Amino acid sequence: MGIAADLPTSTEVLDRVGAARRQVMAGAAAQVSRLSDHELADSVASLARLESQVQAWQLELAAEADRRRVAEAAADTGTDAWLARLTGTRREMLKGGLLLAQRLEETYPTTVAALAEGSIRLEQARTIVDVLAATEDEATPAQREAAQELLIGKATGEANRSGAPMTAPQLRRVGRRIYRTIDTELHRRHLTASVRRSERTGENDTWLTLHDRGDGRYVGRFTLPERHGQLLQTVLHSLCTPRRYGHDHRGTARYDDTIGGPGSELGWADRLGIALCELIEHLPTDRLPRSAVNLLVTVDLDTLRSDLVDAGVATMTSGADLTASDARRLACEAGLVPAVLGTGSTPLDLGRTTRLHTDKQRQALALTHDSCAIATCDRPFAWTEVHHPHAWGDGGTTDLANALPLCWHHHRAAHDDRFELHHLGASEWILHRRRRPPPQDSSRRITVARPPT
């Protein structure tokens, strides 16, 4: 993981660190106002490369300290604690960096070399390691090497038409499909594994804190899964866009630019906060709303046969990837508009949103269900989503005989291939774990154990 081409002695290493610090201080003392626009841009880019090189060096030192177990001799509880004492950085942040250093050194030498050269940033290196880890044990060293080179090209911008470097989120989305041109079978396994891995991470690390400061303000923080964060972001952006387009009573197109328009002193964060308040104030008070999702399914036949069937992955227009089971769950409450395209993007089938159960049907369901239809669940009916036991995609109808109110948790389980629904009585059902694994093409089908007629 070393940066220098030669092998300096320990004294020379410390001397070079000192010299580098003096050079940085001398550069910072220069009057930046005298720089031209071109020199200013070059300075910013060069400092970013320098930062990456320093971070690569820090990771190498951290990995060496962990190998030597220097923390034990210093009576610290771990290498991360030892590093925190020396640097003043939070221990949990250093622990993540230590794990990254170990992974880079053991498995991803090409990525660490790019970081040491200053070609990529630390967050990009972290993303490359994380996204390739989904099939790390399945890919050969040659395949991993090819994938690293492709991702590094995307990270630096050399492999992009625009020439612009990709951010870490953009790199993650590309990384899920990085094996497409390397190995078809590995690509399908990697796409499925990486989306499921990301989904598990989001769900396992979902949290929210709210605190009343007592001065008229609430403060809070939260972490959401990718798809929920993008849905919230889409709604908030639509509420705080600088110009709201609409029509007056004559039908003339108009816009309202009072929010964030010219002369406004509100920053983007302020506008997002106001939009969140507006969203909260307009939540319904009589019952919880239906899903805000409208699924526009635009897919060519080859993709339908490969990605969704074999890999079991769907993609939202916002860019978030979903497992097929999550896509089917959202489709139960979303407006679903399928547009299957053949060769030349010719529409083969255009769907409609009338597949959803109506409000009247929900009211009728409320007469027989006062809670989730699963016998062991007591979540109220107002929290439920209407599920098609006989899937719409398999010919199921949208009527009361094919309608089950399920809470969010059990609706997810009903679309999970590991479980199947069983009828217990007039209004009660139960989910059983399958004794045998589902068939290979189960991403398109949900089997329901039907009550005897």
Task: Assign 364 to helix, strand or coil.
Answer: helix
> Tens digits of per-residue pLDDT, 137-159?
999 999 999 999 999 999 999 99
* Mean pLDDT score, 405-415: 83
Residue 341 is predicted with a pLDDT of 47
Q: In whole angstroms, give the CA distance from residue 275 to residue 264.
A: 15
Q: Which pLDDT band, with edges at 50, 70 and 90, does 241 fall under?
A: low
Ranges 81-85, 122-126, 377-381, most confident: 122-126
Q: Which pLDDT band, with edges at 50, 70 and 90, does 111 fall under?
A: very high
Query: Which amino acid, one-letter code, is at 399?
Result: D
Q: Which pLDDT band, with edges at 50, 70 and 90, does 290 fall under?
A: low
* Mean pLDDT score, 67-76: 89
Residue count of the chain = 453
* Mean pLDDT score, 386-397: 80
Residue 187 is predicted with a pLDDT of 93
Q: Taking Cα atoms as reference points, which of 304, 309, 307, 300 lies closest to residue 442?
A: 309
Mean pLDDT is lowest, of 48-52, 168-172, 375-379, for: 375-379
Q: Which pTM was predicted?
A: 0.62
Mean pLDDT is lowest, of 183-187, 234-238, 314-318, 430-434, for: 314-318
Answer whether residue 68 shows pLDDT above 70: yes
Mean pLDDT is lowest, of 187-201, 281-295, 354-368, for: 281-295
Answer whether residue 24 shows pLDDT above 70: yes
Q: Which pLDDT band, with edges at 50, 70 and 90, does 447 fall under?
A: very low
Q: In whole angstroms, give the CA distance from residue 331 to residue 357.
A: 12
* Mean pLDDT score, 14-27: 88
* Mean pLDDT score, 265-277: 80
**Helix or strand holding residue 55 (H, E):** helix 37-68
User: Which is more confident, 288 or 280?
Assistant: 280
Q: In whole angstroms, give the CA distance from residue 410 to residue 430.
A: 10
Strand partners, 448: 421
Task: Assign 262 to helix, strand or coil.
Answer: coil
Residue 191 is predicted with a pLDDT of 92
Residue 146 is predicted with a pLDDT of 96
Listed in sequence order, the residues at least 6 apart from 330 whose beta carbon sits closer than 8 Å to its beta carbon are 291, 293, 295, 322
The answer to whether the beta carbons of residues 183 and 167 sit under 8 Å apart is no
> Tens digits of per-residue pLDDT, 313-367?
766 655 567 776 676 666 665 554 444 444 454 443 333 345 677 777 887 788 7
Query: Which amino acid, one-letter code, is at 53?
Result: Q
Q: At what angle do helices 122-132 and 91-107 cross, to 10 degrees?
A: 60
* Mean pLDDT score, 215-224: 92
Q: Alpha carbon of 365 to those of 92, 358, 368, 407: distances in Å?
A: 49, 11, 6, 14
Q: In whole angstroms, give the CA distance from residue 331 to residue 350.
A: 15
Task: Assign 449 to helix, strand or coil.
Answer: strand
- Share the mean pLDDT of the chain: 77
Question: How far from each other are the two terminal CA atoms of the chain, in whole angstroms?
Answer: 69
Q: Which pLDDT band, with edges at 50, 70 and 90, does 402 fall under?
A: confident
User: Which is more confident, 326 or 5?
Assistant: 326
